[in-house]
Structure 1
Amino acid sequence: MVYIHAWQEYQDAAEALYAKSPTTTRYVVKWKSSEGKLVLKITDNTTCIKFKTYSSIFLNRFEALNLSLMEKMQNRRKVEPPAQPDEPMPVAPSAGDTAPVSSAAPSAAGAPAAGGVKKKKPKKKK
């Protein structure tokens, strides 16, 4: 087992190991709260790579690595937002049109806004 001390090296090695053999690769995360230690381990039964840290600075990097590996494990690609159209948006109706304009999200009278739950009134005591 090899501990890698630089995060970027570990991330590159972990993603390369998974890309090499995705069916046999296992990824393990161990957190010891009493010591404040985080240990990451990835193996494919022949190669084992580990990373150990006591610093909370690596939590964002750890989360990014998890997301990257999970996307690969689920065989999904990142969805990119659609490109902006080159044509301008249609112009509002002219003054001659008398069609009423409605809001995108109509609300019922007395209903709470934004889909909230309306509280029940307490029962009256006799």
Structure 2
Amino acid sequence: MVYIHAWQEYQDAAEALYLKSPTTTRYCVKWKSSEGKLVLKITDNITCIKFKTYSSIFLNRFEALNLSLMEKMQNRRKVEPPQTIPEPAAPAANVAEAAASSGVTPSASGGPAAGGVKKKKPKKKK
């Protein structure tokens, strides 16, 4: 077992180890709250790589590594939304006329039509 002290080295080694043998690679996360210690371990039964930290700074990096490994494990890639060309904005008077002619009435209140949550009626007391 080898502890790697630099985060970037660990991330590169972990991703390379997974890509080398994806069917046998295991990834383990251990958190000891009493010590405030995070230990990450990835192994393929031949090579074992570990990273240990007491710092909370690594939480964002740890989350990014988890997302990266999960995408590889699911064989998915990030899908970028298609870029659309914005249409020219219509004058406010035309928007109000279009809404009136289509029968759609905008809801100004905070009701369910405006995206609010409908409150439940209180239960009756016996």
TM more than 0.5 = yes
The 3-state SS of whatever aligns with 2:65 is helix
Summarize deviations over 1:25-76 as a string: whole Å, max 9, x none: 0000000111110000000010100000000000000001001101111111
Contact 1:37 1:54 (8 Å CA) reproduced: yes
Number of equivalences: 118
Q: What secondary structure, in the 3-state scheme, does the structure 1 residue paired with 2:31 have? A: strand
Indicate conservation of the 8 Å contact 1:111/1:118, yes or no: no
Q: Deviations over 1:74-99 (max 9, x none)?
A: 111101011223xx62785xx7xx76
Q: How does 1:32-51 map to 2 (within 5 A)?
A: 32-51=32-51
| Structure 2 residues without counterparts, runs of 5 or longer | none
Match runs of 1:1-126 below 5 Å: 1-85=1-85, 89=87, 100-101=101-102, 102=104, 111-112=111-112, 113-114=114-115, 116-123=117-124
* Structure 1: unaligned runs, 5 residues or longer: none
1:8, CA displacement in angstroms?
0.4
Report the TM-score, using the length of structure 2 for normalisation: 0.78
Identity between Structure 1 and Structure 2 (%) = 82
The root-mean-square deviation of aligned C-alpha atoms, in Å, is: 2.8
Partners in 2 of 1:91 and 1:10 — Cα distance? 49
Aligned residue type for 1:29: V
Distance 2:8 2:80 in 1: 25
- State the SS of the aligned residue for 1:28: strand
Larger proportion of helix = 2
- Kept in 2, the 8 Å contact 1:41–1:49? The answer is yes
Q: TM-score, normalised by structure 1?
A: 0.78
Is 2:39–2:51's contact at 8 Å kept on the other side of the alignment? yes
